[in-house]
Chain A
Amino acid sequence: MLLRVTDRGLWCEPAQLYIDPWAPVDRAVITHAHSDHLRFGCGQYLVAAPGTALARTRLGAHGDRVQSVAYGEPVTVHGVRISLHPAGHILGSAQIRVEHRGEVWVVSGDYKTDPDPTCTPWEPVRCHTFITECTFGLPIYRWPSTAQVFDEINAWWRANAAEGRASLLYGYSLGKAQRLLAGLDPSIGPILTHGAVETMTGLYRDAGITMPETTYATVDQRDPAWSRAIVIAPPSVDGGTWVRRFGPSAAAFASGWMLVRGARRRRGVDRGFTLSDHVDWPQLLAAIDATGAQRVLPTHGFTGPVVRWLREHGLEADALATRYEGERDDAAVDETEAGS
């Protein structure tokens, strides 16, 4: 096996390195900068070039251990050819292609195939074995078109603004927040951000991604124009003191989970917008098909049904037990779904 799971992560023995390890190791290749994939304490990190600043910021004191490589440019380690390819998940997200003695494996990381102007679109990479995430690997998950979702978001914002209510739109501060920002119609009103979102958005701007003008909503400023504003913030601030400064407001949550009514209701926000940075069921099947892989190892999601479906369709498939948790906003929903 070219790649296998150990207690530290996805181990590539011939290259002597780990992909997205969840414990400190000497050498790590990283799919993207979300916290369940990029952990502290490794000796060396290799990331795709557009995600360098994100990884460095996230690692703080360990930022100087990050090295980068352009998409598609191979690096050879102990005779193993390694290259990173766009995953379309967030800025700098990559699939990891590993080639050794003619055998090719691809690790998808998190990915989506829907359009997103804030990152390089996903590309299929031919391989023998495909390790794929399946966060939304059930046929109930079929995304509405991105354009339609943004029409709904802007209409919701416009209606709130007309009634003098601030619009609180929650999404994970890295990736989801910037995708939301890119789809907003700035003519409706001011766009405010939470500190965590503002920091990440600055890094997107530095990377040359077009972002609308945003104002970091600090504690000591308050402005009457805020009643027409949209506020992009991580979901953890909901119901807390931070959001009170905006006065009368409506709250919405943007996530793939919002497709299902039960999850919307458990979230307890006024609206749920179905906007995901993962593939839905048809996209997952199409992506698997496009890799031409004969063996598929689903992880990170509904592995049971996906494995069974693939086997019934003539592929070799096994669930791979990893410790990637899904984005924190998604995980937060998982938690409420699992708890009482």
Chain B
Amino acid sequence: MKAFAMLYEAIDASTSTQAKVAALTQYFAEAPPADSAWAVAFLTGRRPKRLVRAPDLRTWAAAAADIPDWLFEDSYAQAGDLAETITLLVPRGKTIAEASLSAWVEDRLLPLATMDADAQRVALLEAWQQLDGTARFVFNKLLTGAFRVGVSQGLVVRALAAASDVHADIIAHRLMGAWEPTGEWFEQLVRGDTADADWSRPYPFFLAHPLEAPVESLGDVQEWQVEWKWDGIRAQIVKRRDRVLLWSRGEELLTGRFPEVEQACALLPDGTVLDGELLAWRDGTPMPFTALQRRLNRKQVGRALVAQVPVHFVAYDCLEHAGNDLRTQPLHERRSEMQRLVAALPTGAPVSVSPRIEATSWTEVSEARDLSRQQAAEGLMLKRANSAYGVGRRGNDWRKWKVSPLTVDAVLIYAQAGHGRRAGLHTDYTFAVWNGDTLVPFAKAYSGLTDAEIREVDRFVRANTRETYGPVRTVEPTLVFELAFEGIQESARHKSGLAVRFPRITRWRRDKVARDADSLESVRALLRAQQAHEQRGDA
């Protein structure tokens, strides 16, 4: 536990990516596999749910600190964090236990879930006596389901690769999908023999870079495949061993949520993997993303909802056919394979191939892009026709060329309680983007989240308030949301120097940590792109 606490400290204290990777690498190189397994789980956001009720925790901690409840609350208000308040208030124990992270998690932490309140109290008091400083803080964070730390999965993968000498792509592949953090699993994760790859797993998604330079800079238009950039959920359909597995880009297994798509894909031949986009779909056209969210938030989908919001899979690519990995073959060949596979499905199946936009010049491509909104698309995808299917955001063979609404990934920094139906819930948010190492307030937005998400954000706000000014709470900058807006302009009145029109939340980026949010510089790039686009429109 101590080593993991020191790792947490090192990551938490540093803003340098290099220092974080170095600390992670050292930890993975030295920790027992069972500890590393839990570390990977926690650092990639697979933290346990809250194990103990917060009111109980407060009562027990106040009693352990021998202070009245009001003084606990005053202390909490100052420290701004429940786990830390408890860490600071409960007196230091005399017997610090040197048990490993896995022992702490498996023997002490997780069993709390099935204990009654009395047993929990006894177990917690004992645990607090045996932990101190950061170890106690980390334990409390895990206990309250609020463990977060400033590393992306990408950095964890880099460190695992460095510590194990296994290529980062393979680590990333092995990390996808469902796994249990055990020592055996960790040994598999970093095993030098790479002929494994669990049969159920998707391939790492290949992502596009935004197009920033003039589109003409891409060279000959004939070398590019142009498609719509659909505004849905990027997903892979894996058909192996007679089963259909649906994976989101956030590595979440979606199987069970889109029965109409799964039924159709059960007819694909074994050993097939398709990459594409899930879209809410009616009468041959996509519905807005918010409709799809109604489906996404349900683990069990009833017939009525399927009828209200039918879902369709638009295929972009074929990554595997007859059990063979096609990713290094040229895109146009993979596309032919995909067309054959989809054509063989029965008529009316909710699966189709994303159409290719035929264009003989970049001007035509640009004209097509102006029609994106009519197509319910976010813009265009430009893919080099002979490109391989890579990993992550590597290379420049795939470009996304979005149109307005412009979108930005921003961090929630302030929250304010709403009115009317949502009175008492924190529904009015202020978002920030990075300016160097500081977050600058950038936009306010109210709408766009589902009721369940609003409640979840509200709980987060309450548990992570740094300070309160009247109705406004400053929260730990942790949650990332995609904001869309209609336009952007310079503004001297705003701290960021920019003002946006009609900002709204388009989705909760649970796959991102605060550090991944956009910067003021990238927002300015959007502004420049918008201005350039407008000028072209005038000409």
Q: Using a CB–CB distance below 8 Å, which chain A residues touch chain B?
A: 138-142, 259-262, 264, 268, 270-271, 302, 304-305, 308-309, 312, 337-338, 340
> Are the C-beta atoms of B70 and A260 separated by less than 8 Å?
no
**B13 contact from A138, A139, A270, Cβ within 8 A:** A270
Q: Which of A140, A141, A302, A337 has the largest count of B CB atoms less than 10 A from its CB?
A: A140
Assess A138 versus B74: contact at CB under 8 Å? Given A262-B466, A268-B437, A340-B441.
Answer: yes
Could you tell me the distance between the alpha carbons of A305 and B85 in the complex, rounded to whole angstroms? Answer: 16
Q: Using a CB–CB distance below 8 Å, which chain B residues touch chain A?
A: 12-14, 65, 67-68, 70-71, 74-75, 78-81, 84-85, 88-89, 137, 414, 437-438, 441, 466-467, 474
> Are the C-beta atoms of A260 and B13 separated by less than 8 Å?
no
Contacts of A305 in B (CB 8 A): 70-71, 74
> Are the C-beta atoms of B88 and A260 separated by less than 8 Å?
yes
14 more A-B contacts (CB under 8 A) besides A140-B89, A302-B78, A340-B414? A138-B71, A139-B65, A139-B75, A140-B75, A140-B78, A140-B85, A260-B78, A260-B79, A268-B438, A270-B14, A305-B70, A309-B71, A338-B467, A340-B441
Assess A140 versus B79: contact at CB under 8 Å? Given A259-B88, A304-B74.
Answer: yes
Contacts of A337 in B (CB 8 A): 467
18 A-B residue pairings within 8 Å (CB atoms): A138-B71, A138-B74, A139-B71, A139-B88, A139-B89, A140-B75, A140-B78, A140-B79, A142-B88, A260-B78, A260-B79, A260-B80, A261-B12, A262-B466, A268-B437, A268-B438, A305-B71, A337-B467
Could you tell me the distance between the alpha carbons of A305 and B77 in the complex, rounded to whole angstroms? Answer: 12
Contacts of B71 in A (CB 8 A): 138-139, 305, 308-309
Could you tell me the distance between the alpha carbons of A338 and B474 in the complex, rounded to whole angstroms? Answer: 10
Assess A271 versus B78: contact at CB under 8 Å? Given A139-B65, A261-B84, A305-B71.
Answer: no
Closest 9 CB pairs of A and B: A140-B88, A140-B75, A305-B74, A262-B80, A138-B75, A140-B79, A260-B79, A139-B67, A262-B466
Q: Nearest residue in A to B430 (C-beta to C-beta)?
A: A340
Q: Nearest residue in A to B438 (C-beta to C-beta)?
A: A268
**A262 contact from B68, B81, B89, B441, Cβ within 8 A:** B81
Q: What is the CB-to-nearest-CB distance from A82 to chain B, in angstroms, rounded to a whole number?
A: 36
Contacts of A141 in B (CB 8 A): 88
Could you tell me the distance between the alpha carbons of A43 and B242 in the complex, rounded to whole angstroms? Answer: 95
Contacts of A302 in B (CB 8 A): 74, 78
Q: Nearest residue in A to B414 (C-beta to C-beta)?
A: A340
Q: Nearest residue in A to B16 (C-beta to C-beta)?
A: A270
Could you tell me the distance between the alpha carbons of A121 and B187 in the complex, rounded to whole angstroms? Answer: 57
Q: What is the CB-to-nearest-CB distance from B113 to chain A, in angstroms, rounded to a whole number?
A: 27
Contacts of A312 in B (CB 8 A): 68
> Are the C-beta atoms of A138 and B474 separated by less than 8 Å?
no
Contacts of A264 in B (CB 8 A): 13
Q: Which of B65, B67, B137 has the largest count of A CB atoms less than 10 A from its CB?
A: B67
Could you tell me the distance between the alpha carbons of A139 and B70 in the complex, rounded to whole angstroms? Answer: 12
Q: Nearest residue in A to B92 (C-beta to C-beta)?
A: A142
Could you tell me the distance between the alpha carbons of A186 and B74 in the complex, rounded to whole angstroms? Answer: 41
